[in-house]
Amino acid sequence: MRNTKNRLTLYIIYGMILGIIIGYLAYLFLPKVYLPTFTSSANLLTTIFLRLVQMVIAPLVFCTLIVGIAKLGDIKAVGRVGGKAMLWFISASIISLFIGLIMVHLTHPGSGIALNSVNANDAKDILSNTQNFSSANFINHLVPKSVVEAMASNEILQIVVFAVFLGVALASMGERATAAVKALDTFSHAILIMVNYVMYFAPFGVLGSIAATMAVNGPTIFLFYGKYLFWFLITIIILWSVMILVGLIILKKRLLPLLKAILQPMIVAFSTTSSEAVFPVLTEELEKYGCNNKIVAFVLPLGYSFNLDGSMIYMTFASMAIAQAYGVHLDIGTQITMLFVLMLTSKGIAGVPRASLVVVAASCAMFNIPPEGIALILPIDHFCDMLRTMTNVVGNALSTASVSKWEGALDLQQKQITI
């Protein structure tokens, strides 16, 4: 099992390298008239991979969360574990937002963005998504009117809400619910076996994503937006340092094995810019690492809705960079208000395309920053998305492992689970 995992990780890295080479050659030699055809074909590989993953996401979240809650045994245990998880999520969100705010003031990334290079038409699709971005829309993303509809459209937050209710109901039934819980548990393990099959296509999905991006933008994008990307990378490194320090305090010697266990999910998340793509395999790796499967089944799906550290830090960084580019001055009180608005509005972004940019555009409009300014950062956004998505994965792995440790449910010996 371990050798297979190592080989797959290696193949994914090969896919990244090959994607860079193919994309760069297309950028240099392919006539521009053929570029749309090339990128469409390359992105098709990524689309197939992501659709395969999305195929298993809804049933996996549904089953694992219900089983996790039901196996916790009583509502008091659900409340205790959920409370510890939410304490982590809220604390991590606030720290991420403030790190982003401090760094954007120290580095002034917006001053390096050229306004005359902006094509506002590039932002039209994202701006159109902000029109319905409101508290009412958040409720629509939160409360399902039909669990079947929620699963069909992969509305993860709605699935989580339904699964929590059903899991608590099954937990309250005691032994009468044993057969139902056992059936759901068996089904979730079958889905995990499917995930192993799906992951064999990951190197091709990675290759297509990288090749398409490199063919359109080429390496010059790193030169033009070098300052912005460099300072965001430094900001992410600072956030990682804080997360790893906290992880070291809580997990101690178990931190390094955790980071090694999630290496493959991190690489896939980085290269595909999709947290969804690694949810199933991250679930499996955390259980192998020694996290209690009930805790994983409960905390990890919640983290995917409430614990997006990389996205949070980027929202602050990008919003303030746009304000700097346009010379919009915000006093400290307004900036702190913006942070909390970002923290609240970001909880309804599951399933929204380019979700972080949608939230940034909506928040900019709210604070009199030109929302079309997102066109400034669109050319570099894919590379920033790679960093923030990988950070989201690390944050969720740390939170799940930490809650397991607090509950006394983290195996002292790293274990292997074979399905």
In 252-373, which residue ranges form alpha helices assigned H by DSSP?
Answer: 255-261, 263-272, 279-289, 293-306, 309-325, 332-345, 355-366
pLDDT at residue 415 in the model = 46
> 277 Cβ partners below 8 Å, 6+ apart?
49, 50, 53, 202, 205, 268, 269
16, 39, 92, 49: which is closest to 270 by C-alpha?
16
Q: Which residues pair with 291 in a beta bridge?
A: 410
pLDDT at residue 135 in the model = 52
Cβ atoms of residues 404 and 295 within 8 Å? yes
Cβ atoms of residues 362 and 130 within 8 Å? yes
pLDDT at residue 127 in the model = 54
Tokens of 216: 């359109």
Residue 415, Cβ neighbours under 10 Å: how many? 11
318 in a structural domain: yes
201 in a structural domain: yes
> What is the DSSP code (8-state) at residue 372?
G
184 in a structural domain: yes
Cβ atoms of residues 166 and 65 within 8 Å? no
239 in a structural domain: yes
Residue 30, Cβ neighbours under 10 Å: how many? 15
> What is the DSSP code (8-state) at residue 410?
B
- The Cα angle at residue 174 between residues 169 and 175, in degrees rounded to 5: 130
230, 214, 277: which is closest to 17 by C-alpha?
214
136 in a structural domain: yes
Per-residue pLDDT tens, the chain, 419 aa: give them. 455 556 777 888 888 889 889 988 998 888 888 888 998 898 888 888 878 877 887 887 788 778 877 777 667 777 888 888 888 988 998 999 899 999 998 988 877 665 554 555 555 555 555 555 555 565 666 778 888 888 887 777 788 788 888 888 888 887 888 899 889 888 888 887 887 788 788 889 888 888 887 887 677 655 556 788 889 999 999 999 999 999 999 998 889 999 999 998 898 888 877 777 788 889 889 988 988 888 888 888 888 777 888 888 888 898 888 888 888 888 888 888 888 777 766 654 544 445 677 677 777 777 888 877 776 777 677 778 888 889 999 999 999 999 999 988 777 554 443 33
Output the domain CATH number for residue 329: 1.10.3860.10
Alpha-carbon distance 122 to 59, whole Å? 35
**Residue 338 backbone class (left: φ over 0; alpha: ψ -120 to 50; beta: rest):** alpha
Residue-number span of the structural domain to which 386 is assigned: 2-406
> What is the DSSP code (8-state) at residue 123?
G
42 in a structural domain: yes
235, 239, 390, 225: which is closest to 317 by C-alpha?
235
419 in a structural domain: no
In 110-219, which residue ranges form alpha helices assigned H by DSSP?
Answer: 124-130, 135-142, 147-152, 156-173, 178-199, 202-217
DSSP 3-state of 347? helix
51 in a structural domain: yes
Cβ atoms of residues 271 and 209 within 8 Å? yes
Q: How far is CA 358 from CA 132, 138, 198, 365, in A?
A: 10, 13, 30, 11
Indicate the residue type of 175.
E
Q: Specify burial of residue 302 (Cβ count, 10 A radius: 0-12, 13-18, 19+).
A: buried
Domain count of the chain? 1
